[in-house]
Every structure is written in structure tokens, then in C-alpha cells.
């Protein structure tokens, strides 16, 4: 994007803004500083965020947005007719700006067909359908994902003032988790250490026996109460870690929602996890975090994905 394009974009007054992040939960959490920066710059604008259904709980309740829109490519919006319906509904909302924080072919097609006049993102994945774009260099992993996202905003005159993450903590979930903890002998004063042995990729996983050994040591030496969490794709790893432990533990693998996870991590004195989405949720709610990285490829390393706080 040359200087003339930047000046044109910065001079616009956007009344309805759509921020798009349709990839992983952790990536969405890392985009929350960008969402706040847009709100700070456009305090009177209507701001919506387009996400996948599984990420809705992470963004719902965010005070900087007016609406959460979900697109479900595997169920509710699957098929040509349903895709057309989704595009038409998007068109009816009459957004005048779309910010694409992660490039996807489908995203660019939808925004183009929805007739959103200003579509800003990266020159990748049918980036030709965008009206303004910047080079996609995230794969080099030279800076943190938060900073890559904030760089995009500068092209619409947004100058971010902070990098703090934000995940809402649901009061109903706090009450639910408080009850579960009490049932398992965990009080408000206990040192809770939460373990997450799962990850989206085998190359990112530390072995369950290593997690079990560390958890046992913390339980024995610091009288910590150990809580194990895992999502549907990681349940086997959570269960195996629990089975290998000698100390008492509370295994909540596949027993909680994303909203519950935020409440668990808010009660956590230390969170130990593979490189995964819960790492960024933990940082957002203030839990001290140790993240274990199994790969150091450019673009996948701690430089881009490390915990922040």
C-alpha cells in the first residue's frame, strides 16, 4: 500500500466496521488489542466481529464490540444456498469497512460479494479481492502476532496505545467452577496449578508422562491442588496425564466450556501448557503461564506466539 492509498484510507470516517478473524481461538484472543484499538479510534462506530462458532464465547461480552457474527462452514452454513444466504445477510448489515486479520480465500470472497466498499487485509489468499492490502510477512515470525495485527490497523489511522489481551469472565461460569472446585476439595486459598497437556499438532505436544511428573512434584513440594484441562481433541492426553499422576488431581478434561476455562484460569496460580489457545486465555485473565514449545520454525516459534502479560 503506497502513501497515497494510506492517506485515502486514513481520511475515511467509518460508521460500521466488521473485524474478521475466522481461525483459531488463541489467534482471536491475540486480536483483542486490535479490537480495542479500533474502538478507541472510532468510539461512535458500530463494530462487529466475524468468528467461527467455537470462538464465540471468547469474544461475547467484550465491551468494545456491538455484535458477534458467526460463520459455521461445517454445519449451519454448509452448502451453496446457505453460503448465499450468509452473504446476503452480511450485505444487509451495510458495513463500510472490513478488516481481515487473517487471510482466507472464503473470507475474501464473502466480503467482496457482500459489497463492503473498503476491505483491508493482506496480499494473500485471493487478496486481489481486497480494496487495500499490505504484504503478508507473518510467516517469517520476526515479531509477535499481536504486533503483526496492530500493524494492519495503522493503515486506517489507528495508532494502538496498548497490547493488553482481553477475555471476559462469565459470572455464571465463575459460580459453576467455584462449585466444582469445592466438590473436589479446592478452596479459595489453595494454590491451584492447572495443566493443559493437549495441543492442535503432535509436534507441539510434550509427553503426558512429563506433565504428570511435573504436576506430582508441584503437588508434593508446594501442596498445590492440580487441575487438568483438555478439549475434545485432547481428552486422551488429559486422561493419560491424570492416570500417570500419583498425587490427587481434578481432571476436568472435556467437562467444561470455553467460558468455564477462563474462570478456571482466573483461579489459577500457575498454568503449564503446550503451545495452544489456552495459553493466551490464561494471559488475558492474568494467570502466570509457562508455555512449552515443541518447534522453532520461522513463523511458529515463541517469537510470534509466546505468552504475553
Q: Strands 289-292 and 225-228, how do they pair?
A: unpaired
Cβ atoms of 46 and 66 within 8 Å: the answer is yes
Q: Is residue 59 part of a domain?
A: yes
- What is the reported pLDDT for 1? 53
Which CATH number belongs to the domain containing residue 13 in this structure? Answer: 3.40.50.2000
Same structural domain, 284 and 230? yes
Same structural domain, 182 and 137? no
Same structural domain, 216 and 71? no
Q: Is residue 190 part of a domain?
A: yes
What is the spatial distance between Cα 266 and Cα 227, in angstroms, rounded to a whole number?
13
- What is the reported pLDDT for 303? 94
Same structural domain, 104 and 193? no
Same structural domain, 125 and 59? yes
Same structural domain, 137 and 214? no
Q: Is residue 165 part of a domain?
A: no
CA atoms within 13 A on the CB side of 76: 8
- What is the reported pLDDT for 200? 78
Task: Going residue by residue through the chain, which has 309 residues, state the pLDDT in tens, using 9 for 90 and above.
Answer: 555 555 555 557 899 999 999 999 999 999 999 999 999 999 999 999 999 999 999 999 999 999 999 999 888 788 899 999 999 999 999 999 999 999 999 999 999 999 999 999 999 999 999 999 999 999 999 999 999 999 999 888 898 989 999 999 999 999 999 999 999 999 999 999 999 998 878 778 899 999 999 999 999 999 999 999 999 989 999 999 999 999 999 999 999 999 999 999 999 999 999 999 999 999 999 999 999 998 878 888 999 999 997
Cβ atoms of 45 and 17 within 8 Å: the answer is yes
**Helix, strand or coil for residue 106?**
helix
Rg of the chain over CA atoms, in angstroms? 21
Same structural domain, 237 and 271? yes
- Domain extent at residue 45: 3-156
Cβ atoms of 262 and 173 within 8 Å: the answer is yes
Q: How many domains does the chain have?
A: 2
Same structural domain, 136 and 176? no
Same structural domain, 219 and 295? yes
Same structural domain, 122 and 179? no
Cβ atoms of 103 and 116 within 8 Å: the answer is no
- CB count within 10 Å of CB 20 equals 25
Q: Is residue 7 part of a domain?
A: yes
Q: Is residue 162 part of a domain?
A: no
Q: Could you tell me the sign of the dihedral formed by the alpha carbons of 148, 153, 158, 163, in that order? A: negative
Cα end-to-end span (Å), the chain = 32
Cβ atoms of 30 and 280 within 8 Å: the answer is yes
Grid cell, residue 195, equals 495443566
What is the spatial distance between Cα 112 and Cα 118, in angstroms, rounded to a whole number?
9
Q: Where do we find the cell 460463520?
A: 71
- What is the reported pLDDT for 4? 55
Residues sharing a CB contact under 8 Å with residue 164, sequence separation 6 or more, in sequence order: 33, 36
Q: Where do we find the cell 486459598?
A: 189
- What is the reported pLDDT for 201? 80
Nearest to 58 by CA among 37, 79, 32, 76: 32
- Sheet strands side by side (includes 249-251): 249-251, 225-228, 192-196, 270-274, 289-292
Q: Is residue 164 part of a domain?
A: no
Amino acid at each position: 500500500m503506497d502513501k497515497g492509498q494510506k492517506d485515502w484510507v486514513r481520511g475515511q470516517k467509518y460508521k460500521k466496521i466488521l473485524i474478521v478473524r475466522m481461525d483459531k481461538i488463541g489467534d482471536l484472543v491475540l486480536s483483542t488489542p486490535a479490537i480495542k484499538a479500533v474502538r478507541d479510534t472510532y468510539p461512535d462506530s458500530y463494530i462487529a466481529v466475524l468468528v467461527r462458532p467455537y470462538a464465540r464465547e471468547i469474544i461475547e461480552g467484550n465491551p468494545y464490540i456491538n455484535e458477534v457474527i458467526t460463520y459455521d462452514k461445517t454445519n449451519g452454513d454448509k452448502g451453496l444456498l446457505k453460503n448465499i444466504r450468509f452473504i446476503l445477510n452480511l450485505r444487509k448489515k451495510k458495513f463500510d469497512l472490513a478488516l481481515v486479520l487473517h487471510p482466507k480465500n472464503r473470507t475474501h470472497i464473502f466480503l467482496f460479494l457482500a459489497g463492503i466498499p473498503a476491505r483491508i487485509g493482506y496480499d494473500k489468499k485471493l487478496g486481489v479481492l481486497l480494496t487495500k492490502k499490505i504484504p503478508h510477512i507473518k510467516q517469517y515470525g520476526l515479531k509477535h502476532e499481536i504486533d503483526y495485527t496492530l500493524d494492519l490497523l495503522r493503515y486506517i489511522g489507528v495508532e494502538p496505545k496498548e497490547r493488553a489481551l482481553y477475555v471476559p469472565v462469565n459470572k455464571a461460569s465463575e459460580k459453576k467452577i467455584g462449585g466444582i472446585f469445592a466438590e473436589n476439595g479446592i478452596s479459595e486459598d489453595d494454590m491451584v496449578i492447572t495443566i493443559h497437556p493437549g495441543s492442535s499438532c503432535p509436534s507441539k505436544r510434550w509427553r503426558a508422562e512429563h506433565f504428570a511428573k511435573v504436576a506430582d512434584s508441584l503437588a508434593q513440594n508446594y501442596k498445590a491442588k492440580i487441575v487438568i484441562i483438555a478439549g475434545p481433541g485432547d481428552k486422551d492426553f488429559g486422561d493419560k496425564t491424570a492416570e500417570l499422576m500419583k498425587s490427587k488431581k481434578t481432571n476436568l478434561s472435556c467437562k467444561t466450556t470455553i467460558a468455564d476455562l477462563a474462570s478456571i484460569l482466573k483461579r489459577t496460580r500457575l498454568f503449564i501448557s503446550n503451545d495452544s489457545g489456552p495459553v493466551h486465555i490464561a494471559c488475558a485473565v492474568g494467570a502466570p503461564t509457562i508455555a512449552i514449545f515443541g518447534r522453532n520454525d520461522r513463523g511458529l516459534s515463541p517469537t510470534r506466539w509466546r505468552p504475553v502479560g
